[in-house]
Amino acid sequence: MAARCNFWLPKKKRFCANVPLGDSQFCGNHTQRSDGQWIPCPIHPSHSVLEENLQSHLKRCPFFKQAQSLSLQPFYQEGINAGKEEEEEGVQNFSSEMKRNAVRAMTLFEFSQLINKIKSVHASICNDIRDSFKIPQACDIWTNRQVDRCSIIVLFCMCYVHIMFPLVNSHLIFQSRFVFSCRGLPFQQKHVMQQASILGNLEEFGVLKSCEDNVVSGSVKSDTSVDKDDVPAVVEFGAGRGYLTQVLADCYRIKKILLVERKSYKLKADRSLRQKENVTLERLRIDIEDLKLNAVESLQGVPYLATGKHLCGPATDMTLRCCISKQCNQHNDASSESTCHLIGLAIATCCHHLCQWKHYINKRYMLDLGIGKDDFNAITWFTSWAVDADHGSDLCGTGWSSDLQIRYIFLSVEIIKREKEHVESDLNTYDEVKDMVKNMKAVDRAIIGFMCKDIIDFGRFRWLKEHEFESQLVKYVPSNISPENRLLVARQKC
């Protein structure tokens, strides 16, 4: 029996099963690291390397060929959608720890003023974010779990064949497992509800056309003729495994699919999508920050719909730049057919605590509201409070503003009292703000977090309007389905 690593895994109650390195008793994962300085790999920061070995590592880094191949693609342009820092160049992104420390370094008066500013700005601009939980009839095959039942039947049949005919088991069982996984099973109702509501809002907004007449037994009829209601192409940003597009392809007529994702995933919906008639699929493994959409050959002269479910932090801002900036709408080109043409957009925003001032799409609007870079960093940190509370009830409903107003009066009195005590006793400001935040009720923190999310998303909504798009900012699912429930929907003006 081959030697095994001698590192004991307490959770698994066994030794590591990997082969040890050379004369060592441990594998590469469990060999004690050198005392030298470890630095992130400049090609891909997901791993680190000894500084003394950096040059040799760069030649054999597994990400080197991938980065080299990507840099040669016509649609790659480093940082094209990143935005820029007007005040200073070369400023690093602010981590959550840096944002938290900046908030805790405030005085109690500054903290109180910022909370008051958030309340005032939210009350003046964010009153028309309505509930819009829409489940279209076209998505019945998913919401009624017909896809789920169909896949379970297939799996059952494959397992029966495996038992009765063991000589032909391996290939069939592999296929059955794939069908079971690529359809998103085990069935997760909350994800299907979110996907269906995104499509329902697109349908209500006039971007998608219902095609229930073409839906038979859970699949869309094949039709080689061109229909004016068909969506020629769909580009899903931050696609992950591609399940949003899977639901879209199952329920509406689409002809071309482009999935944009920087990571590699298992159990993707790609194989199922490729099996659809009259549908072509292309997956680009690239960061949205570096994607020059106008240079993607398959999109030349093709109207497209842009979608994204839970685009984390600055990915939403980068997607808006990618779709709507000058590089994708070059009206001065000799031929308009050489550029892509956005007909509609639906982005479910997410992870606002990761947003960065450098990348944010509408800094001018924030500055007009009196929210500068430092306030923006604090606001993005506050957004994490929105997902800390219990979401069994809908915290972001219409009735919480007055409740917060009453509680905020007491909070303001407490802040003023403690500010006075701080002046008299020379206490540490960092600990004062930290204790104040700790003593706030979870529901109050969550409400302020939702306010901050709304302010950030409202700036994006206004940016779309400024670029002559009809747009809406809605709550597309209740917060007990997902607290990340804001959806930007837009379309070209007629």
| pLDDT 10s digits, 265-307 | 888 888 889 888 888 999 999 999 999 998 999 998 889 999 9
What's residue 220's pLDDT?
Answer: 39
pLDDT at 462 over 90: yes
Q: Residue 165: phi, psi to the nearest 5?
A: -130, 75
Least confident among 43-57, 172-186, 213-227, 365-379: 213-227
Question: Would you say the pTM of this structure is higher than 0.85?
Answer: no
Is 105 a domain residue? yes
Written as six digits, the tokens of 172 are 């069939």
In angstroms, the CA 4 to CA 51 distance is 29
pLDDT at 424 over 60: no
Share of the chain above pLDDT 90, in %: 37
The residue segments making up the domain with residue 386 are 96-129+358-453
In angstroms, the CA 29 to CA 35 distance is 16
Average pLDDT over residues 316-331: 75
Determine whether 309 is exposed, middle or buried from the number of CB atoms within 10 Å of its CB (0-12, 13-18, 19+): buried
Written as six digits, the tokens of 394 are 């809908």
Least confident among 144-153, 189-198, 225-234, 402-411: 402-411
What's residue 146's pLDDT?
Answer: 59
Are 220 and 211 in contact by the 8 Å Cβ rule? The answer is yes
- Using DSSP's 3-state secondary structure scheme, residue 276 falls into coil
DSSP class of 187: P
Same domain for 102 and 64: no
Question: CA angle 218-133-261, nearest 5°?
Answer: 70
Q: In terms of Cα–Cα distance, which of 255, 335, 340 is closest to 293?
A: 340
In angstroms, the CA 354 to CA 238 distance is 15
What's residue 431's pLDDT?
Answer: 75
What's residue 278's pLDDT?
Answer: 85
Is 65 a domain residue? yes
In angstroms, the CA 68 to CA 48 distance is 19
- Angstrom CA distances, 42 to 34, 51, 55, stand at 20, 11, 11
Average pLDDT over residues 240-244: 91
Cβ atoms within 10 Å, residue 93 = 13
What's residue 221's pLDDT?
Answer: 42
Number of domains in the chain: 2
Share of the chain above pLDDT 70, in %: 73
- Using DSSP's 3-state secondary structure scheme, residue 306 falls into strand
Is 47 a domain residue? yes
Average pLDDT over residues 146-160: 50
More confident site: 271 or 425: 271
Are 171 and 164 in contact by the 8 Å Cβ rule? The answer is no
In angstroms, the CA 462 to CA 207 distance is 19
Same domain for 431 and 369: yes
Q: At what angle do helices 429-439 and 96-104 cross, to 10 degrees?
A: 100
Name the band, by pLDDT with cuts 50, 70 and 90, for residue 164.
low
pLDDT at 390 over 80: no
Are 280 and 298 in contact by the 8 Å Cβ rule? The answer is yes
Name the band, by pLDDT with cuts 50, 70 and 90, for residue 416.
low
Name the band, by pLDDT with cuts 50, 70 and 90, for residue 169.
very low
Are 296 and 75 in contact by the 8 Å Cβ rule? The answer is yes
Name the band, by pLDDT with cuts 50, 70 and 90, for residue 36.
confident
Question: Cα–chain-centroid distance for residue 310?
Answer: 3
Question: Cα–chain-centroid distance for residue 261?
Answer: 11
- DSSP β-bridge partners for residue 348: 309, 487
41-45, 153-157, 429-433: range with highest mean pLDDT: 41-45
Is 297 a domain residue? no
Same domain for 118 and 36: no
More confident site: 240 or 145: 240
Are 340 and 328 in contact by the 8 Å Cβ rule? The answer is yes
More confident site: 415 or 84: 84
Is 250 a domain residue? no
pLDDT at 312 over 60: yes
Written as six digits, the tokens of 256 are 């071309």
pLDDT at 479 over 70: yes
Q: Helix H segments across 165-304? A: 169-182, 189-204, 243-251, 270-274
More confident site: 56 or 460: 460
Are 441 and 388 in contact by the 8 Å Cβ rule? The answer is no
Least confident among 294-303, 339-348, 386-395, 403-412: 403-412
What's residue 307's pLDDT?
Answer: 96
Same domain for 52 and 118: no
Same domain for 374 and 418: yes
pLDDT at 258 over 80: yes
What's residue 152's pLDDT?
Answer: 45
Question: What is the per-residue pLDDT across 104-125, written as a single tens digit (0 to 9) for each?
Answer: 999 888 998 999 999 999 999 8
Same domain for 107 and 65: no
What's residue 244's pLDDT?
Answer: 92
Least confident among 28-32, 265-269, 279-283, 403-407: 403-407
pLDDT at 320 over 90: yes
More confident site: 301 or 378: 378
What's residue 422's pLDDT?
Answer: 55
Average pLDDT over residues 243-271: 89
Is 102 a domain residue? yes
Instruction: Please state, rounded to an integer, the average pLDDT across all residues of the chain.
Output: 79
pLDDT at 251 over 80: yes
Is 30 a domain residue? yes
Is 466 a domain residue? no
Question: What is the per-residue pLDDT across 127-150, written as a single tens digit (0 to 9) for each?
Answer: 778 999 999 888 888 888 656 544
Is the torsion defined by CA of 345, 366, 314, 324 positive or negative? positive
In angstroms, the CA 162 to CA 192 distance is 31
More confident site: 10 or 181: 10
Whether the upstream peptide bond of residue 40 has omega within 30° of 0, thus cis, is no
pLDDT at 184 over 60: no
For tokens 């931050």, name the residue.
238
Write out the DSSP string of 24-77.
Answer: -SS-TTTSPPPSSPEEE-SS-TTSEEEGGGHHHHHHH-TTHHHHHHHHTSTTB-
Same domain for 121 and 50: no
What's residue 421's pLDDT?
Answer: 59
pLDDT at 459 over 90: yes
